[in-house]
């Protein structure tokens, strides 16, 4: 009889644990869907489809580089730029600093910056508590594209939202198919060429926002390439070269390493 009661108790505990897990899963899925609904609705209201949205970056053209110099890129057919209504974004959230978009992919989100790197970990752009959080700029950055390296964080969501699709870039064929992402600010649009993808240690030396000189920047680029599963030609310039953009998310395998995408701004275009 005693053994039977113990068995019944264990069964009840297992059933309770299963129900709790199932309930948490349902709750999380609902939370993720609500987050995606919010961001999709926001995109419909602030991403324009007018004249600017149809504007393309010419395949062979001199443009003003992010460093202020003239750069000539022959990159072939490139996707069009969007038109972002930053006045509307700022009316919803005064912490808005940019919009990030991966042409041809389902990655297109506003970027915010809090007073620390905790504020938007579990808070949507609209301020709702949600584990999906927001895409946010490192609090150490003075702005977007104003430092040697602009760092953006986002969660690696299982449903592929936020930065959940960045893992596709661990496959070289995906990088070759989608070699760019765009960063929009109220001042203009930056087209960024992806120059590295991989998993790096979660250490401060992989997350600088500034470089003291050309050699420090070069050492950083070499260090990042050492953690890449395949080689991408990395333009190696001095401290005055176009700024880098580091996108960072978790790997889903503990907290010791991070999945990152490193891009370099190759065009700066404004109306």
Per residue in 203-234, pLDDT (tens digit) is: 999 999 999 999 999 999 999 999 999 998 75
Q: Which residues of 13-33 are buried (b: 16+ CB within 10 A; e: fewer)?
A: eeeeeeeeeeeeeeebeebbe
pLDDT tens digit sequence for 234-247: 555 544 578 999 99
10-residue mean pLDDT series, the chain (271 residues): 56 47 44 82 81 41 36 51 94 97 94 97 94 96 96 94 95 95 94 95 96 94 95 62 92 86 82 52
Cβ neighbours of residue 72 closer than 8 Å, sequence gap 6 or more: 60, 61, 62
Q: Computed from CA positions of residues 18, 19, 20, 25, in that sequence, does the dihedral angle turn out positive or negative?
A: positive
Q: Which CATH superfamily is domain 45-269 in?
A: Sortase (2.40.260.10)
pLDDT of residue 83: 93
Instruction: Please tell me the predicted confidence (pLDDT) of residue 52.
Output: 44
DSSP 79: P
d(CA 122, CA 60): 42
Question: Tell me, what's the pLDDT at 88?
Answer: 96
Residue 17, token pair as written in the block: 């644990």
Domain boundaries, the chain: 45-269
pLDDT of residue 36: 84
| Separation of alpha carbons 16 and 93, rounded Å | 41
pTM above 0.95, yes or no: no
């Amino acid at each position: 009889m005693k053994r039977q009661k113990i068995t019944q108790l264990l069964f009840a505990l297992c059933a309770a644990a299963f129900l709790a897990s199932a309930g948490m899963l349902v709750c999380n899925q609902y939370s993720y869907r609500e987050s995606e609904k919010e961001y999709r609705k926001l995109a419909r209201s602030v991403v324009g489809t007018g004249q600017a949205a149809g504007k393309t970056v010419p395949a062979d053209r001199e443009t003003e580089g992010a460093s202020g110099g003239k750069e000539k890129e022959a990159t072939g057919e490139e996707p069009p730029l969007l038109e972002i209504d930053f006045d509307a974004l700022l009316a919803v959230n005064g912490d808005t600093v940019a919009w990030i978009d991966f042409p041809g992919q389902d990655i297109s989100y506003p970027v915010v910056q809090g007073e620390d790197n905790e504020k938007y970990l579990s808070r949507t752009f609209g301020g709702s508590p949600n584990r999906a959080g927001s895409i946010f700029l490192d609090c150490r950055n003075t702005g977007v594209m104003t430092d040697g390296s602009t760092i953006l964080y986002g969660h690696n969501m299982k449903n592929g939202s936020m930065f959940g699709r960045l893992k596709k870039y661990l496959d070289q064929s995906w990088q070759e198919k989608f070699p760019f992402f765009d960063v929009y600010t109220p001042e203009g649009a930056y087209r960024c060429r992806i120059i590295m993808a991989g998993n790096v240690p979660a250490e401060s030396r992989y997350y600088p926002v500034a470089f003291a000189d050309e050699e420090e920047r070069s050492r950083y680029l070499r260090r990042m390439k050492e953690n890449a599963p395949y080689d991408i030609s990395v333009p190696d310039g001095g401290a005055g070269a176009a700024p880098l953009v580091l996108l960072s998310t978790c790997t889903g395998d503990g907290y010791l390493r991070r999945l990152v995408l490193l891009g370099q701004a190759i065009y700066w275009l404004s109306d």
